[in-house]
Amino acid sequence: MKLYLIQHGLAVPDEVDPQKPLSREGIEATQEVARFLSDRAVKVDCIWHSPKVRSVQTAEIISRSVSCPDLAERDDLNPNDPVDEFPGEFQKLNTDLMIAGHLPFLRKLVSLLLTGSDGLDLVSFKNSGVVCLEYQGAWKLAWAVTPDLL
């Protein structure tokens, strides 16, 4: 089972648009990462995203590249939402999943899955970057990629 965590693409500043949609740079970086995932034939069964516009847009761009028609908006993926219940939920699903979300939520989720505590800062997330965790008896970091590496 694989879990792909993607920090939403770069958004416009709050002063420009309080909804904070993706900026042109955010769209382009997310499209570049989407091509990377497509070239490597990454497939997921579902993409979860928060209701925030930048997360929705990121999920939509990525979904076309990983051939995932199942996008699910969830109200529990916001920046400061708790991560405690997710390990059990992932175990029940037993499927490849992607989450397009926010910090600090994603950082806390990685910490919880890898160490059992959500308080460690183990991974340096970047806008449009993807972290892949794999479960084989325990969660392990499989790989990570950021737009600046592509």
Tell me if residue 48 falls in helix, strand or coil. Answer: strand
pTM for the predicted model, two decimal places: 0.96
Largest CA distance in the chain: 46
User: What are the residue ranges spanned by the domains of the chain?
Assistant: 2-149
Give the per-residue pLDDT at 91: 86
The per-residue pLDDT string of the chain (150 residues; one tens digit each, 9 = 90 and over) reads 999 999 999 999 999 999 999 999 999 999 999 999 999 999 999 999 999 999 999 999 999 999 887 999 999 999 999 999 999 999 899 899 999 999 999 999 999 999 999 999 999 999 999 999 999 999 999 999 999 998
Check residue 121 and report its DSSP letter: -
- For 2-149, give the CATH class: alpha beta
Give the per-residue pLDDT at 67: 82
- Burial zone of 39 (CB within 10 Å; 0-12 exposed, 13-18 middle, 19+ buried): exposed
Position 86, amino acid? F
